[in-house]
């Protein structure tokens, strides 16, 4: 039964580290799109919302999504979906799209706000870091208090001997 006290914190740490990887990756993608210097006039094709939660006593979370389309400098038509963004952007509105060219185009219609993005990303990473440190501390404290898991499974009683 002690395995739960090792596996569950390990899974939580793995999930937190994966989320941190995703935050850093998205931060670098958006920063790359803003720093590339490539812009295009895009058009909002569709707006929609998704709702999550609301089961039992959980709160309801509504996310606004926009679908944009623009023509890259090489003539390719690029369509992308972005969550968040201003609620005042409606279907048919024209927006400035910032994008980074490459094999896979990364684009955003959010106006450059490097400080805001950095503060939010660092805040999320700090929270995830606290989660990882807490889980690692819990495992270390549990291991010191109750002994390591291997001792319970593979312990050999030195007082007992088997006679032939």
* Mean confidence (pLDDT) of the chain: 88
d(CA 27, CA 31): 6
pLDDT at 163: 53
pLDDT at 157: 53
Under the banding of pLDDT at 50, 70 and 90, the label for residue 14 is very high
pLDDT at 6: 87
Model confidence pLDDT, tens digit, residues 113-158: 999 999 999 999 999 999 999 999 999 888 888 765 554 544 555 5
pLDDT (mean) for 98-120: 91
pLDDT (mean) for 33-54: 92
pLDDT at 56: 78
pLDDT at 80: 95
* pLDDT for 49 beyond 80: yes
């Amino acid at each position: 039964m002690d395995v739960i006290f090792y596996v569950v914190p390990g899974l939580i740490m793995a999930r937190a580290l994966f989320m941190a990887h995703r935050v850093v990756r998205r931060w670098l993608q958006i920063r790359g799109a803003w720093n590339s210097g490539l812009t295009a006039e895009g058009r909002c094709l569709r707006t929609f919302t998704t709702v999550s939660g609301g089961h039992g006593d959980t709160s309801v979370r509504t996310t606004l999504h926009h679908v944009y389309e623009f023509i890259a400098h090489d003539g390719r038509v690029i369509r992308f979906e972005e969550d968040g963004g201003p609620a005042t952007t409606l279907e048919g509105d024209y927006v400035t799209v910032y994008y980074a060219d490459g094999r896979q185009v990364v684009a955003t219609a959010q106006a450059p706000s490097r400080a805001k993005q950095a503060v939010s990303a660092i805040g999320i990473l700090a929270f995830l870091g606290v989660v990882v440190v807490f889980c690692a501390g819990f495992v270390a404290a549990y291991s010191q208090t109750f002994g390591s898991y291997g001792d319970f499974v593979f312990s050999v009683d030195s007082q007992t001997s088997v006679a032939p």
